[in-house]
Amino acid sequence: MSLHIITFGVVLLLVLTCIPPSFASEAVSSTNQSNFSYINNTNQQENELILSSLAIENQLQKATAILELTSKLPEMRTLSFLSQFSAAHHGIPANADMEKRQIGQEILSKFPDEFVSFLYLMPNGTVYLLEPYARQQNLSSSDLSHRDYYIGVTETKNTFLGNVITSLSSGRNQAQLIVPIFDNGNTSVIGAVSSGLNFETYNKILQSVNLGHGERIVLVDSNGTKIADSDKSQPSSLLNTTHKDTSYGNLQSFKNAVKGEKGALVETVNGSNTEIQYKPIKAVQNNWVLLLFRSSGGFEIPAYLNSSQTSNRTLNIPSSDTINSNTTNASSLNNTLPEQLPPQSVNGSKVPKI
């Protein structure tokens, strides 16, 4: 197994050094609409979004390369310990199929910024194993076939990135990246390898951007659910409560960006005109969206948008201090990732809880 890990590391290094940054230049529309208007981008705002988007896209490309290379390892193409599957263990026991478990542990140890979990699914979406094992123990069910990422990889038979979901075992938000595993003839899907992305890395990317007064950047998935936030004082994107907020999805800027458009416009927020610059982020098969809020009214843009007051594109965003502290066959891959469990030390590296 160690030989495969060494080979894996060398190939990974070669792949990652070949990932090119993308500096696509797109024009900004000057169209006016009823309750919002398009504006010209400033160089500073443009640079902020470009730097953020490049870092995020490179992070996603790296995670995808790691998982796709892992799926091609010989150890991934067998289920030698399937007879030891137990509903009581929500998969195979902790001491079974140690080659796969050690590969998972190695990945979590060497790439903690990318992943918080390592999952191997059977073709019908049932958990075969999950690392750290404490997460497997904490699963409420071994059947993950209802998850969006399993459904996506089943339909496409290709690498798939799910939208933000809430883990039933931890109550925390996560997004799952999944790669199908084919037999040696590359004709039938025999399983899938999947990992939960580390949202804290995306928060750190946005929080490292040099923003001006009254500016804030938020990263959301293709449903409009927050993944990361430049404002550390806002509710964490890991919290279940942020998953319930649908207001970002009601913004015209979000709707434009999720269609692949880039630009800037003014939308009415809390009765004030707020500049919102938007840019799509290529997230495997979907677009994630970067939204840069620039308040012209002097108030700080907080994490939550009030979705109950979004008619006529007029959105109510409370100020920060008002937020209450208070299908089953071998060719179809049931890909629903397990919930994120408590932290566990993996090869001396702490895996964050999500």
Asked whether the predicted pLDDT for residue 270 surpasses 80, the reply is: no
CA distances from 212 to 132, 143, 164, 208 (A): 40, 47, 29, 12
Give the model's confidence band at 214: pLDDT under 50 very low, under 70 low, under 90 confident, else very high. confident
Dig out the tokens for 201 from the structure: 């890395």
CA distance 119 to 130: 4
Residue 344 CB burial class (10 angstroms; 0-12, 13-18, ≥19): middle
CA distance 290 to 277: 8
The residue among 354, 339, 353, 352 whose CA lies nearest residue 167 is 339
Give me the phi and psi of 333, to 5 degrees please.
-105, 105
Alpha helices in 43-96 (DSSP H): 43-71
Q: Average pLDDT of the chain? A: 77
Span 176-188, mean pLDDT?
90
Strand partners of residue 288: 281
Give the model's confidence band at 169: pLDDT under 50 very low, under 70 low, under 90 confident, else very high. low
- Mean pLDDT is lowest, of 15-24, 72-81, 277-286, for 15-24
Residue 221's pLDDT is: 96
- Mean pLDDT is lowest, of 24-33, 108-117, 238-247, 286-295, for 24-33
Asked whether the predicted pLDDT for residue 189 surpasses 70, the reply is: yes
Asked whether the predicted pLDDT for residue 321 surpasses 50, the reply is: no
Q: Interior CA angle at 243 toward 145 and 265, to 5°? A: 120
User: Does 3.30.450.20 match the CATH number of domain 60-198+328-351?
Assistant: yes
CA distance 240 to 170: 10
Asked whether the predicted pLDDT for residue 317 surpasses 50, the reply is: no
Residue 212's pLDDT is: 85
Residue 192's pLDDT is: 97
Asked whether the predicted pLDDT for residue 290 surpasses 60, the reply is: yes
Residue 72's pLDDT is: 95
Span 50-73, mean pLDDT?
96
* Fold adopted by 26-42+200-322: Beta-Lactamase (3.30.450)
pLDDT one-digit tens code per residue, 131-145:
999 999 999 899 999
Residue 269's pLDDT is: 67
Strand partners of residue 165: 174
Give the model's confidence band at 203: pLDDT under 50 very low, under 70 low, under 90 confident, else very high. very high
Question: Which amino acid, residue 86?
Answer: S
- Mean pLDDT is lowest, of 78-87, 288-297, 327-336, for 327-336
Residue 150's pLDDT is: 97
Within the chain, what is the greatest distance between any pair of CA atoms?
64
Dig out the tokens for 207 from the structure: 């929080």
Residue 42's pLDDT is: 53
Residue 240's pLDDT is: 75
- Mean pLDDT is lowest, of 14-18, 54-58, 137-141, 250-254, for 14-18
Percentage of residues in the chain having pLDDT higher than 70: 69
- Per the model's pLDDT, the better-predicted residue between 193 and 311 turns out to be 193
Residue 229's pLDDT is: 95
Give the model's confidence band at 74: pLDDT under 50 very low, under 70 low, under 90 confident, else very high. very high
Location of structure tokens 């932290």: 343
- Mean pLDDT is lowest, of 157-161, 227-231, 339-343, for 339-343
Residue 9's pLDDT is: 55
Asked whether the predicted pLDDT for residue 36 surpasses 70, the reply is: no
Residue 123's pLDDT is: 95
Each domain of the chain, given as residue ranges in start order, spans: 26-42+200-322, 60-198+328-351
Residue 6's pLDDT is: 45
Dig out the tokens for 342 from the structure: 């408590």
One DSSP character per residue, 235-255 reads: PPTTBHHHHT--GGGG-HHHH
DSSP 27: P
Centroid of chain to Cα 17: 22
CA distance 292 to 251: 12
Give, for 84, the enclosing helix (H) or strand (E). Answer: none
**Signed CA dihedral, 272, 277, 280, 281: sign only:** negative
Q: Interior CA angle at 98 toward 339 and 6, to 5°? A: 100
Domains 26-42+200-322 and 60-198+328-351 share a fold: yes
